[in-house]
């Protein structure tokens, strides 16, 4: 029969417990600086902020006119983002692809499409 030191057993339990507590950082969470091309009035800049709490994503889009909550935000493991937002009375559908620190996507509102690109800054 193999005998283990009580100290060794405690160390093994602590190490295995810590390993299960570690969660890999979510690469989609953070702040993204984006630019909308071909917007009315020229290109526009905005900040996209994404959070994840208890497995649920949430986010905001901030531009020169204010901060707007993203509704029904979902991001699949491959980086496909989908959300909606209400902007100055308009319902906008957002779709994007996130790859590392780059994001490309589009907003669709009233049959018009506005493309955007950007990068993660934090």
**pLDDT (tens digit, 9 = 90+) per residue, 7-62?**
655 556 656 555 445 556 788 999 999 998 877 778 889 999 999 999 999 999 99
pLDDT for residue 13: 62
Q: What is the pLDDT of residue 10?
A: 58
Domain-wise residue ranges, the chain: 25-120
Token digits of residue 29? 């969470």
Q: Are the C-beta atoms of residues 82 and 74 closer than 8 Å to each other?
A: yes
Tokens, residue 101: 């620190």
Q: What is the pLDDT of residue 76?
A: 92
pLDDT, residue 2, reads 55
What CATH class does 25-120 carry? mainly beta
Q: What SS3 state is found at 104?
A: strand
Report DSSP state, residue 100: T
pLDDT tens, position by position, 83-97 = 999 988 899 999 999
């Amino acid at each position: 029969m193999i005998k283990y030191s009580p100290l060794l057993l405690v160390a093994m339990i602590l190490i295995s417990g810590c390993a299960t507590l570690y969660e890999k950082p979510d690469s989609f969470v953070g702040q993204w600086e984006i630019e909308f091309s071909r917007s009315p009035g020229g290109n526009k800049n905005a900040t996209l902020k994404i959070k994840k709490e208890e497995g649920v994503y949430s986010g905001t889009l901030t531009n020169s006119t204010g901060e707007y909550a993203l509704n029904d935000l979902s991001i699949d493991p491959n980086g496909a983002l989908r959300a909606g937002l209400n902007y100055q009375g308009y319902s906008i559908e957002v779709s994007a692809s996130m790859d590392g620190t780059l994001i490309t996507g589009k907003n669709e509102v009233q049959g018009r499409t506005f493309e955007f690109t950007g990068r993660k800054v934090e």
